[in-house]
Amino acid sequence: MAHLARSVASLRIAGDELVPEEVSLLLGAQPTHAQRKGQELPSKAGVRIASFGHWRLHAIETEPENLDAQVAEILGQLTSNLDVWQSLTSRYRVDLFCGWFMEGSNEGVCISPLTLQALGERGIELGLDIYAPDTNA
């Protein structure tokens, strides 16, 4: 099986009442990006108002895909205290967003049991966007 060509991954925590500084303190790390609901944010049209609170931590993009390494990179920066994770997942939407990019028509991926266990223990949902190769190029 040929591996997917490229992978991006981000841990995302979101909610109306989310306070990024609190999440950072609980997890023991700073986010790649964070916002509070109602915060003014720059946009192409000038300024937009954040409609919800958000805390994101990105992994390094991998080529070829290596989700196991990306999950290890993200979770390795954060607390392993499952009580903290239970608290966060009970109050906010928590997921690991992955973008998988194909170069060919038949590529695949395997995710290790340890990676799946680490996500499951923390209550982290796995979200996948899979992008087919651009046949118009």
Per-residue pLDDT tens over the stretch 84-137? 999 999 999 999 999 999 988 788 889 999 999 999 999 999 999 999 887 665
Report whether 91 contacts 62 (CB < 8 A): no
Q: State mean pLDDT over 33-48.
A: 89
- The residues spanned by each domain of the chain are 6-39+47-131
Report whether 52 contacts 36 (CB < 8 A): no
Give the HSE-up count for residue 68: Cα atoms under 13 Å, Cβ half-sphere.
9
**pLDDT band at residue 76 under the 50/70/90 scheme:** very high
Q: State mean pLDDT over 74-79.
A: 98
